[in-house]
Amino acid sequence: MNSVNAGILGTGHSYPEGVLTNADLEKMVETSDEWITTRTGIKQRRKAAPGEYTSQFAVRASQEAIERAGIDPMEIDLILCATVTPDQILPSTACLIQAELGANKAGDGHRGRVFGFSLRFDDRESDDSQRAN
């Protein structure tokens, strides 16, 4: 059996500019900053504007990761997109990312959250993907 190693070659990030604070939530529902903060530690969260979609943030983060890794998008064999907020049902968000990146030989692995990463790393010995994003 061939042993395949997996690693992170580059990272990137992207998030919405919009901010939703606990004070904002106090105006919408019966809650308080103190109640939210003591139970979750959260003071604010990011909120996408109308017309902003998961794939747009993923593409920006992927472009940064690809640049840092020093690879070409055509070298990517697999795109894993782990989200519970897809742009739409079909095609998957990973397919949209693939098209925007120009990663034409990449397969799509649209899976939910951490489960997607566990599938990728647990199944790496039975998969011939050499580069995954």
The pLDDT tens digits of the residues spanning 31-86 come to: 999 999 999 999 999 999 999 999 999 999 999 999 999 999 999 988 888 888 99
pLDDT, residue 2, reads 75
Q: What is the mean pLDDT of residues 115-128?
A: 56
What CATH fold (topology level) applies to the domain 53-133? Peroxisomal Thiolase; Chain A, domain 1 (3.40.47)
pTM of the model: 0.74
Query: Residue 113's pLDDT band (boundaries 50, 70, 90)?
Result: very low
What radius of gyration, in Å, describes the C-alpha atoms of the chain? 18
Query: Residue 110's pLDDT band (boundaries 50, 70, 90)?
Result: very low
Tens of pLDDT along 89-108? Answer: 888 898 899 999 999 887 65
All structural domains of the chain with their residue ranges = 17-47, 53-133
pLDDT, residue 85, reads 92
54 close to 85: Cβ distance less than 8 angstroms: yes
Question: Which of the 8 DSSP states describes residue 109?
Answer: E
User: Mean pLDDT for the chain?
Assistant: 85
Query: Residue 118's pLDDT band (boundaries 50, 70, 90)?
Result: low
Torsion from C-alpha of 117, 42, 65, 47, nearest 10 degrees: 100
